[in-house]
Chains A and B, each alone.
Chain A
């Protein structure tokens, strides 16, 4: 329990309407999108300004109380998991778009602004904000900065780190710093680059300068059907190798297609694997690349290709794709979503391994993923009422990550390490590498108060020897659909 005097200090900063201490209301903040892990915080504060955030953090630092910043809570790795007897700093009320500067192709926002609100604000002017995580209707820019979020179109446009120019940053002891800025090439170390993707463990961003991009002249969307995942994977490798950079390349397997069709009825062909390839840019260029992509698909054994003839057809193709996670409920009582990365040239090989693991464990695995950058999202389907099924599914999901690492990939492409995969880090990084990361963390937050226990393994969490990876159940209901 936090002592009364400390809570009164917080209340004095944010006022009664910015403070939550009642148990039922606190439970709303007990987890993020990784709902299997829950910890109720001692208090939630909802500041309105940078100064308030800094005062809260100073109060926490003085009282040695851990604090966790939170946006919309859509993260899938438990990155916003509260600390018991700690404070959650909810940034949802800081949701103003502060400045739209078309002359300099920049927008300045508070961290609680949703990703989609940025694009909506500038689209009528012919611009958009490129990173597009599929929770973009609800996820916030602050959370995107913490996680270095990507999205389907990051294949061409890059991640959050490529689109943030500057930030106002509250340090772990409550000071206010300007990192980067509207003018490029700030002197000294790239602290901004370090903070982006650090999962909220180094401090809290309270204002962000974003780069906006001109809307492309034309967009072409292809839906291609293949007999096998291997054939579709081959087409992906050939498209990348041909020097074409599509805006997005997404893949779904038969199981995923069937599940989506039950909900969306988008008319996907009944096939072993479907690819969605989107090309954008000047009309002539996307038309030329479209021809190349169609040729490559045919040469890779596509049984059917369709090009969206209208905006409505394009929207329908994407609707089915984006419904993939949500639709799993139609074909399985329970499922886990995994997030791993492999080199793009290893798609066929690793997908075969996943198929073999699925057979060995007697559990179905649906594959829906960002094929263009090798970011897999295998969905392990199981029935919790069947004894031992949950355990087997956990093991299978862990072995898929092992396969990703063996193939030269990564344990997470976009969902983050969070509290979920912290103990998996030693499988990917040497003790020396992890110690350097820990020293960077200490440089920003020597007292370990700022979102402790996330991103990096600790002996307390993981034991002296890293244990078997244990993903936690994810209940997606109530979340926006996610690619």
Chain B
């Protein structure tokens, strides 16, 4: 690391000496320790930092809250961690429009608190990714992370209506806008969401918001049979109801169904589930307690964590085959997606089972990192082509995406 000193000076000139420091082991990304941590203040400083890094052939990894910094393959190189901690704050919140614009380094919890307390309004961004408290908006986009609310509201791609970003050559761009309906121009943000920081650094995001519900009702269905749990969830999916959450938890053996609506609307939908197909209608306190006890699953506890997807109808068989292998599973049966925790040495067993079920797998925590199996060579070739166009020097998180992109 003999070259650290001159680069420290260089970046100090761009962002101020107080905002550049030598990196240490705690700054490692996927086991790769960078030389410097640079914290630009805004979009312009991000542009100058990236231009300078690219000109010198330095690799840059963007970091927000660091909660998902290990998602994706380890970077081939990592010279500079670009921290978004100073690119922070809510730029605009139009509560009557259900739209907000927020800087990438803002934490999700700060955003949610602000949205819930706007005078006269109670709103929320309907995303609840794992480790959400410390997570930042930028990191959530880079990882396309979502949680239980995905069943009804989708993932970041479904709620982002605009984004500003900086390419590795310093080009500043924007796509979308701050209106909910808009088809002007290419939706470049779609490429950036889930890109694991390999294409651009997002500096500002516009979101579509939703009102906080007036009431919630929760139904729990318990069984020691994974197949029975999956069948219950599938039947919920066939009812004329609109649950926000349908989550299956193993080894607890429970499906949690939550309705967020008007007081009456939530209660009536919960009653329909218990009347037509079973389960217990929980009191509000019990519902909240159950939700709280399952929050964070399967991340709490030691072991590897994988994100898995299968066809919803094939999940019962797949999860049954995994019930002895996995220590914890949190599954969205209506979507066929979820996360599972298992001992690192069980990785090959899990992989084989996923393959047999025709599913997809990405390792989120463990000894080995896999950003997913590329299942189409032509698609991966297009992804390489996108990378060559937007980051030809491979400055940004090189090697973190599928196919070594």
Docked Cα-Cα span, A272 to B172, in Å, equals: 45
Interface residues in A384-430 (C-beta closer than 8 Å to B): 408-417, 421, 425, 428-430
Find out whether the CB atom of B401 lies under 8 angstroms from the CB atom of A408. no
Find out whether the CB atom of A437 lies under 8 angstroms from the CB atom of B360. no
Find out whether the CB atom of B94 lies under 8 angstroms from the CB atom of A345. yes
Pick from B94, B154, B240, B405: contact of A188, CB below 8 A: B405
Q: Which stretch in A66-74, A213-221, A307-315, A352-360 binds the other chain?
A: A213-221
Interface size on B, residues (CB 8 A): 89
Find out whether the CB atom of B402 lies under 8 angstroms from the CB atom of A187. yes
What's the nearest-Cβ distance from chain A to residue B281, in Å?
Answer: 15
Pick from A187, A194, A370: contact of B362, CB below 8 A: A187
Residues on A with C-beta less than 8 A from B214 are: 243
Query: A330 at interface (Cβ–Cβ under 8 A)?
Result: no
A-contact bits for B361-397, CB 8 A (1 contact / 0 none): 0100000000111111011111101101110000000
Residues on B with C-beta less than 8 A from A429 are: 174-175, 184-185
Find out whether the CB atom of B240 lies under 8 angstroms from the CB atom of A216. yes
Find out whether the CB atom of B174 lies under 8 angstroms from the CB atom of A417. no
Find out whether the CB atom of A103 lies under 8 angstroms from the CB atom of B402. no
Query: A154 at interface (Cβ–Cβ under 8 A)?
Result: yes
Interface size on A, residues (CB 8 A): 89
Whose C-beta in chain B lies nearest to the C-beta of A417? B184
Find out whether the CB atom of B96 lies under 8 angstroms from the CB atom of A416. no
Find out whether the CB atom of B390 lies under 8 angstroms from the CB atom of A439. yes
A-B contacts counted at CB < 8 A amount to 268
Find out whether the CB atom of A412 lies under 8 angstroms from the CB atom of B182. yes
Find out whether the CB atom of B265 lies under 8 angstroms from the CB atom of A433. no
Query: A41 at interface (Cβ–Cβ under 8 A)?
Result: no
Find out whether the CB atom of A443 lies under 8 angstroms from the CB atom of B184. no
Whose C-beta in chain A lies nearest to the C-beta of B211? A243
Residues on B with C-beta less than 8 A from A439 are: 389-390
With contacts A184-B309, A184-B337, A373-B181 taken as known, whether A189 is within 8 angstroms of B94 at the C-beta atoms is no
A-contact bits for B321-361, CB 8 A (1 contact / 0 none): 00000000000001111000000000000000000001110
With contacts A105-B312, A187-B372, A288-B265 taken as known, whether A432 is within 8 angstroms of B378 at the C-beta atoms is no
With contacts A187-B362, A413-B182 taken as known, whether A104 is within 8 angstroms of B379 at the C-beta atoms is no
Docked Cα-Cα span, A338 to B383, in Å, equals: 36
Residues on A with C-beta less than 8 A from B374 are: 187-188
Residues on B with C-beta less than 8 A from A104 are: 311-313, 336
Query: A362 at interface (Cβ–Cβ under 8 A)?
Result: no
With contacts A162-B154, A214-B238, A341-B181 taken as known, whether A103 is within 8 angstroms of B313 at the C-beta atoms is yes
Query: B52 at interface (Cβ–Cβ under 8 A)?
Result: no
Query: A190 at interface (Cβ–Cβ under 8 A)?
Result: yes
Query: B77 at interface (Cβ–Cβ under 8 A)?
Result: no
Query: A440 at interface (Cβ–Cβ under 8 A)?
Result: yes
What's the nearest-Cβ distance from chain B to residue A6, in Å?
Answer: 25
Residues on B with C-beta less than 8 A from A440 are: 186, 188, 191, 386, 389-390
What's the nearest-Cβ distance from chain B to residue A217, in Å?
Answer: 4
With contacts A240-B98, A281-B242 taken as known, whether A188 is within 8 angstroms of B262 at the C-beta atoms is no
Docked Cα-Cα span, A193 to B160, in Å, equals: 12
Q: Interface of B with A (CB < 8 Å)?
A: 94-99, 121-122, 144, 154, 157-158, 167, 171-175, 177-188, 190-191, 193-195, 199, 210-212, 214, 234, 237-242, 261-262, 264-265, 268-269, 272, 307, 309-313, 334-337, 358-360, 362, 371-376, 378-383, 385-386, 388-390, 401-403, 405
Of the A-B pairs whose beta carbons lie under 8 Å apart in the complex, a sample of 10, sorted by A's number, is A158-B158, A189-B194, A190-B144, A193-B191, A194-B186, A196-B187, A214-B238, A374-B179, A437-B175, A443-B390
Contacts A104-B313, A433-B174 aside, 20 further interface pairs with beta carbons under 8 A come to A105-B312, A175-B378, A177-B382, A178-B379, A179-B376, A183-B359, A187-B360, A190-B194, A191-B383, A214-B240, A237-B96, A241-B95, A243-B211, A285-B261, A285-B269, A343-B179, A415-B183, A425-B185, A437-B173, A443-B386
Q: Interface of A with B (CB < 8 Å)?
A: 101, 103-105, 126, 147-148, 150, 154, 158-159, 161-162, 171, 175-179, 181-191, 193-194, 196-198, 214-217, 237, 240-243, 245, 281-282, 284-285, 288-289, 341-345, 370, 373-375, 408-417, 421, 425, 428-430, 432-437, 439-444, 455-456
In the A-B complex, the 3 residue pairs with the closest CB atoms: A187-B372, A243-B211, A193-B190
